[in-house]
A and B are shown apart, each in its own frame.
Chain A
Amino acid sequence: MWASIAWRLFWRELKRGELWVIAFALFLAVFSVVSLSGITQGVKVALEQRSAQFIAADRVLGSSQPFNPEIIALASAQQLQVAQQMQFDSMLFSAEQMQLATIKAVSPSYPLRGELILHRSASLTEGERAQITPGDIWFEPRLLDLLGVVVGDTIELGSIALRVGGVIVNEPDAPLSVFGGSPRALMHIDDVMTSGIVQPGSRISYRYLLAGSTVQLDSFAEAVKPLLTVHQRWRNRDQQSAIGGALDRAERFLLLAGLLGIVLAACAAAVAANRYSQRHVQAVAIIKALGANTATVRRIYVSHLTLVVLFSLVVGLLAGQVVLWLAEAAILHYVGDFRPEFSLRPLWLGSLTCLLCAGLFAVRPLWRLTRTPAIEVLKQPAVVMSFDRWQLITGGIAVFALMWLFSGEWLISIGLFLVCGIFIALLLSIAAILVKAAKPVAAGQSSAGKLALANLRRRLWANSFQLITFSLALFLALLLYFVRAELIGQWQQQIPEGAPNHFLVNVNETQRTELAEFAKTHQLQPEPFYPVVRGRLVQVNENVMREEATKEDRTEQQTGIGRELNLTWLDTLPSANKVQAGQWFTAQSTGEVSVEAELATRLGLTLGDSLRFSIGGQEVMAVVSSIREVDWNSLQPNFYMILSPDVLQSFPATYITAFYIDPSRYQLVNQLARQMPTVTVLSVEAIISQVQSIISQVTLALSFILVIIGLAAALVLVAQVQATIEQREQELAILRTLGARYAFLRNALILEFTFLGALAGLFATVLAEVLLLTLQQRLFDLPFSFHYTLWWLGPVSGALLVSLLGWWQLRQLLRVPGAVLIRRVLQG
């Protein structure tokens, strides 16, 4: 029987609009979690898939040992796509020439991700498309010139002869290093076996290329563990990519900003639940007086909350899913070949958030409501349901749980929680002081302004709470607005308009002049020419560096030892570099070297250490005179070791430079390749467009959060104002009876909210400025600069928004005739 009463009451309450604020607050929480976590995940998946193209697979297992059939069988058993790849350096012989080349031998299924384009011609732009076939070998264009062969000629590799099939136009996992290396060739894996190249001790890198869903790949990674030896290891995608760092920062920021929006929404739910409970005290007392026990009343009201939660959850999940689809469509638009991966994470995260918000913010007031004694029917006015200690405690627990849920880290959660606590305590004290200080001004009610101040004072506790929530809401909105601008600015700075999109490597002294001519003719702005000399670090002070057994045995700690480094000499510090310790070269510097900071840490190098390099059989010495921080995200040639000009100038060097070539003039690239066939041209256009597409998506996500926070803030305001409606009704009735005119009451009301909004805006401004200055230093590496716009935008937007929302909500109440108000108040 209680169920029909509960349903009837629920339906009517829904119509009366009382439950909507709770429902909308919970909806907002679910919706924002689902869409935010979904969008970030979508961007991540897109990024991973894009990076997958750069390794031609989703994951790559590298090995220095020949292929293990068991591993291949296991991968096939997990329904994964598999391709095999071998890479080695070998001499190629043509009739007249010989040339060392990096040769990649692949199985027919290569590549699993990205596209391999081979032309059965010597041209990158024209020619019949071809597939990799046994008996053929495909060259990077410059290799044709280096070997003096044309398509269709035969070359020798080991003990076999291969026909030159044509040129490699696009090889998805070609190394992106601007330093290139030996010219590249591609062949069928079956030919390697007959070539006799594979000998014990040959330096061959074997790779298992795998593709499939994340679940399949993870389960394979787990299953393959027992088969792996020290010779095999998973090859990670480049962690230091230009995008990786930016996206990591953006993701953390998005989730935390989103989280604070959710906390705001939860506060709105708590305020609305309190008001709902307050308004139902008498109803519960009546129902109890008519014979219902607490359990029945509890069933009725718990069922109300359950229905609201269910409704918000379902609608929130659906709306979130719709946004996800839209976001996926947008990513698809930007990225092109994005394959969305369905994930349950946004759904369960959204559901859990909803339950936490409802359970820990809204259950307590309803629980207290159901304990209302029947005797309340005879009490006028009814008991006031303000926030109690338990509600604050459960609310605190919910906020902490959400912080942990989103950040996944105890330290961040505790830190953030404490910072929020301190902010709130600070705001509360300032608010109390300010509202109390207004007492002398507010004495008497002779003007609308004084009445407004008196009202603010009278609702001290409620106003302090309002002040905190408005301040937090405005603070978040302002912070996000400014951080968004700064993030975008920073990213755009990273890839400014006209940033070089083509790198030219292996430029010799003669070509350097030719290139300068070429640039002049075609109005291209070349970057400086960086000289490059390949050398090996052989000794640090007294310690002779150990030669490694194989390339694959190298551990991360040994990077920079045992392999050839690209050494350069410069007299000016490159723009993306910052001297961390020591001093950059002066005109008098001789025998000095500047080392990149991370490498210096890895090798344990300090200022004053003397390094010995072996360059083409000769040895040179240099003393570490500075340690440099390098921004690897910059699209500039960067070097681990920069030597003072005197050390290297006598060695033969090649040069690196970069151009920006407008996409409409790409034929220049071909022209350049034809004119200077031994120069390697690397396009970083793909990376640039990837970064730009991610910037657009993150910007979109940031704007989305800004809207969510705006809505949550408005919702808190609506809930707060609604909570005071009964009290305001009574006051208005009295003031009306005493003869107050409509204009007077309206002005007092608008002024009250204007004061409150301006004050909240001011608090928000101070908080936002402090945090922005900190972020500038810590996150963006920018110098201190005040945000002058913020100082007027904060208080003005606060005053405007709060007064407008307040007036909009209470405008109808103001228009109610005095007699009707009095009747309503008397009827309770």
Chain B
Amino acid sequence: MSEGSLTILHDISLTINQGETVAIVGASGSGKSTLLSLLAGLDIPSAGEVFLAGHPLHSLSEDARAGIRAQYVGFVFQSFLLLPSLTALENITLPAELAGDKNAKQRAIALLKQVGLEARHDFYPAQLSGGEQQRVAIARAFITQPAILFADEPSANLDANTGQKIEDLLFDLNQQQGTTLVLVTHSEDLARRCQRQLKMQAGRFVDASATDDVSQQEQTHVG
């Protein structure tokens, strides 16, 4: 992955199987968020291939990748990224509505209950605490019952206690729905809760055993 003369990711080859939970760990600037953006189809690599559920993300247009995301992907972001002008319930409903789900509201209400925020369904993000906002974001991520969930530092903006609760919630829901989880974090503790940990440094995996043989396979399979 290069931008000008800068190459952010080197020799990355990785396959993630369905139902697997994978943590990508590393210090700030190690390239883990860039890798996540490629895996989720938010961006495309300047060289190499990315497949998601068999779809070649690297050769698809922005809109085609949006279609793939709508079908397979859920997101939880570090800074929650809720739409400020929508209520908690409406934020959760949004991806389901975009996918044309007619039962979006019922599902959202059920999820709100699961994350313990049914009483605050008509609150706007600015009226919720950080932890509450992340719970809404988690509910939003699960509403479409995605095949794969990408979480980018889900507890980094929260205090230790709240962070812990959020992580628990994330793993619980993940288990219930049998979702594949790809988690980017700098926290070793959180990473240990995943089946597989990939450590990154300067755009490379440090623990090569955790990845595929690069020389044989220069592509990233996900799902």
Contact = CB atoms under 8 A, between A and B. Distances in A.
Interface of A: 1-2, 4-5, 8-9, 12-13, 16, 282-283, 286-296, 373-375, 377-378, 380, 826-828
27 contacts: A1-B97, A4-B97, A5-B94, A9-B83, A9-B86, A12-B86, A283-B84, A286-B81, A286-B82, A289-B42, A289-B75, A290-B70, A290-B140, A291-B69, A291-B70, A291-B71, A291-B73, A291-B98, A291-B144, A296-B98, A373-B43, A374-B65, A377-B42, A378-B33, A378-B36, A378-B42, A378-B152
Nearest to B38: A375
A288 B33 CA distance: 18
B62 A282 contact: no
Contacts of A374: 42-43, 62, 65-66, 69
Given A378-B152, A828-B79, A291 B42 contact: no
A13 B71 CA distance: 28
Interface in B64-94: 65-67, 69-71, 73, 75, 77, 79-86, 90, 94
B42 A290 contact: no
B63 A5 contact: no
B47 interface: no
A639 to B, nearest CB: 75
A262 B88 CA distance: 41
A375 B42 contact: yes
Contacts of B95: 290-291
B99 interface: yes
Interface string B11-54: 00000000000000000000001001100101100000000000
Given A374-B43, A378-B36, 19 more contacts: A9-B83, A286-B82, A287-B98, A289-B75, A290-B140, A291-B66, A291-B69, A291-B73, A293-B63, A293-B67, A294-B62, A294-B66, A373-B42, A374-B62, A374-B65, A377-B77, A377-B81, A378-B33, A378-B37
B130 to A, nearest CB: 8
A295 B66 CA distance: 11
Of the listed residues B77, B81, B152, the one surrounded by the most CB atoms of chain A closer than 10 A to its CB is: B81
B4 interface: no
B196 to A, nearest CB: 22
A5 B73 contact: no
Nearest to B79: A828
Contacts, number: 90
A283 B82 CA distance: 8
Contacts of A283: 83-85
A13 B152 CA distance: 28
B63 A294 contact: yes
Contacts of B73: 291
Nearest to B71: A291
A479 to B, nearest CB: 41
A12 B67 CA distance: 27
Contact of B98 (A5, A375, A826): A5
A285 to B, nearest CB: 8
A287 B98 CA distance: 9
Contacts of A377: 42, 75, 77, 81
Contacts of B81: 282, 286, 289, 377
A12 B65 CA distance: 29
A292 B100 CA distance: 11
Contact of B69 (A9, A289, A294, A295): A289
A9 B97 CA distance: 13
Contacts of B144: 291
Given A291-B70, A291-B71, A375 B90 contact: no
Nearest to B81: A286
B83 A288 contact: no
Contacts of A287: 83, 94, 98
Interface string B129-152: 000000000001000100000001
Contacts of A4: 97
Interface residues of B, number: 36
Nearest to B62: A373
Interface of B: 33, 36-37, 40, 42-43, 62-63, 65-67, 69-71, 73, 75, 77, 79-86, 90, 94-95, 97-100, 140, 144, 152, 157
B85 A16 contact: yes
Of the listed residues A4, A288, A380, the one surrounded by the most CB atoms of chain B closer than 10 A to its CB is: A288
Contacts of B80: 827
Nearest to A288: B66
Contacts of B83: 9, 283, 286-287
A114 to B, nearest CB: 63
Contacts of A380: 79
A770 to B, nearest CB: 47
B98 A290 contact: yes
Contacts of A296: 98
Contacts of A826: 157
B163 to A, nearest CB: 16
Nearest to A297: B66
A291 B86 contact: no
A22 to B, nearest CB: 16
A2 B83 CA distance: 15
Nearest to A294: B63
Contacts of B79: 380, 827-828
A537 B163 CA distance: 107
A827 B99 CA distance: 28
A291 B67 contact: yes
Nearest to B77: A377
A5 B85 CA distance: 11
Contacts of A286: 81-83
Contacts of A375: 37, 42-43
A514 B81 CA distance: 97
Please provide the 7 A-B residue pairs with the shortest distance between their CB atoms, ordered closest to farther: A291-B70, A12-B85, A293-B63, A290-B95, A375-B43, A293-B66, A291-B69
B53 to A, nearest CB: 14
A9 B85 CA distance: 7
A826 B79 CA distance: 9
Contacts of B82: 286
A288 B144 CA distance: 15
Nearest to A14: B85
A807 to B, nearest CB: 25
Contacts of B37: 375, 378
Nearest to A380: B79
A1 B62 contact: no
A286 B141 CA distance: 12
Contacts of A294: 62-63, 66
Nearest to A371: B62
Given A375-B43, A380-B79, A292 B85 contact: no
A378 B95 CA distance: 18
A377 B99 CA distance: 19
A292 B66 contact: yes
B12 to A, nearest CB: 17
B105 to A, nearest CB: 11
Contacts of B75: 289-290, 377
Contacts of A378: 33, 36-37, 42, 77, 152
A206 B87 CA distance: 80
Of the listed residues A9, A375, A378, the one surrounded by the most CB atoms of chain B closer than 10 A to its CB is: A378
A1 B100 contact: yes
A5 B42 contact: no
Given A375-B43, A377-B42, A5 B66 contact: no
Contacts of B84: 283
B108 to A, nearest CB: 13
A628 B82 CA distance: 79
Nearest to B90: A8
Contacts of B99: 291
Nearest to B91: A286
B63 A290 contact: no
Contacts of A295: 63
A343 B99 CA distance: 49
Nearest to A11: B85
Contacts of A282: 81
A377 B80 CA distance: 10
